[in-house]
Amino acid sequence: METNQDNPQEEIKPDLVAEYHDDIRQIELEGYELGVKKARNALFWTAGLLVIWQIIAIARAEGDFDIEPMLYLLPFVIGFVILGIWTKKKPYTAIIIGLCLFLAHWLLVIVTNVMYGDGLNVAQAIFGGIIVRIIILVNLIRPLKDAKQLQAAKEEKGVI
């Protein structure tokens, strides 16, 4: 009777195939992680840019400094930072919520300008900083597929 010790190649082949498959999967996950990293950075950049835009708006405004606009902005900034951190655990969910939060902020700025401003302020609210807003949107939308794949892989592994 022949044992597995007599033919060690039979035991090695399945291990090599499994290792090769694991290596390929790891490379694939690293590619997904790169896309998610871009979205994570976009969330952090968004938080920073909102603060900078608000500081510039306060500096350009006539009159005394008013803390109220900063208080309205604070939940958005904190939200973007938390979502940026959360992309480590649930990338797809965090990016989707980040997109919604970004669009909600933009809509809130437009509505506020409609309620308290004139037509010029509304147009400025819609189109002001449009290039930066488009860059942020692109950096949040493009990695959605990678984020979904990465989150599914993490859930499959039981990491999440």
Would you say how long the chain is, in residues?
Answer: 160
Q: For the segment 116-157, what is each residue's pLDDT rounded down to a tens digit?
A: 776 667 777 788 888 988 999 998 999 888 888 888 888 887
Task: Record the tokens describing residue 122, joined without a space.
Answer: 């509304």
Cα distances (angstroms) measured from residue 42 to each of 2, 29, 107, 151 = 61, 20, 19, 18
Cα 44 to Cα 136: distance, rounded to the nearest angstrom: 10
**pLDDT value at position 154?**
80
Q: Between residues 142 and 113, which one has the greater pLDDT?
A: 142
Write out the two tokens for 4.
């597995």
Alpha helices in the chain (DSSP H): 9-60, 68-86, 91-116, 119-127, 130-141, 144-157
